[in-house]
Amino acid sequence: MSGTGSRFGGPVPKQFHPLPGVNLPVFHATLEKFLSVLSIQNTVLVVNPQYLNLPELHNSIDLLQTKFPESEISIVPGGDSRHESFVIGARYAIKKYDQNIRLLVHDANRPYLNSEFSARIQEALSQLSPEKPVFLPVIPLSDSICRAQGDKIEDYVDRSELFRIQTPQLLHGPVLATALEQKQLSAENFTDEGSFMKNKGYDVFTYIGDPQNVKITYPEDIQ
């Protein structure tokens, strides 16, 4: 929730936009679905600092906390990038709840979760270990892929080994805690948790994603 949603447009950030059919903010619908189908004990919302005082945020948290009293919901201000926000949220969770946790990192703007996909998430969570510290949901590419310069195709790329990466991305707490303590060798802005862990030398594993698990980026993405 730390992004500004500038590509979505409109008077409110996309994560606070009402989701058709449920008339709830997108982030509310996302979190409610996850809390309903997965055994999540604690939730950390990493929020862009400029949105921390929005009534929509606190009204939703109050409603969710009432509906799911067994799952504590915390809010922390995010950073200047997705990766910085992830690090802030992960360090907060590890410090507050114990590093011997399993982390599920999900985009607030992916509210579409069905029972089949949630079962695969549960299975991947159960496999997290020091030997398999990271699991990402992936989807094979179905379109032809090419490299191009301007309006000219240079060559085609074999799509059989290419996949789209989704969330939730799952991490083994103790291994992540160690990775977070390693010195940052560059200012690289990692686009997801898997690339960060791969950069730190850890193996990254996959589980089958879901084409319906779309990330709302533009108005037409709202189903």
- Provide the pLDDT confidence category of residue 7 given band limits of 50, 70 and 90: very low
- Residues of the chain by 3-state class (helix, strand, coil), percent to 5: 35, 20, 40
Q: Express each pLDDT in 160-193 by its tens digit.
A: 999 999 999 999 999 999 999 987 655 577 999 9
Task: Work out the average pLDDT over 10-25.
Answer: 81
Grade residue 39 by pLDDT with cuts at 50, 70 and 90. confident
Nearest CA among 31, 35, 55 for reference residue 110: 31
State the pLDDT at residue 9.
Answer: 47
pLDDT of 13 over the 90 cut: no
Average pLDDT over residues 44-60: 94
Cβ(42)–Cβ(33) below 8 Å:
no
Is residue 129 predicted with pLDDT exceeding 60? Answer: yes
- Give the pLDDT score at 8: 46
pLDDT at 200: 94
Query: What is residue 189's predicted lDDT score, i.e. its pLDDT?
Result: 79
131-158 average pLDDT score: 96
Average pLDDT, the chain: 90
Residue 14's pLDDT is: 86
> Sign of the C-alpha dihedral, residues 57, 62, 68, 74?
positive
pLDDT at residue number 165:
97
- 99: CB partners within 8 A, 6+ apart: 173, 174, 176, 177
Q: Which of 131, 82, 129 is nearest to 102 (CA)?
A: 129
pTM for this entry = 0.89
Ordered domains of the chain (ranges, CATH) = 14-221 (3.90.550.10)
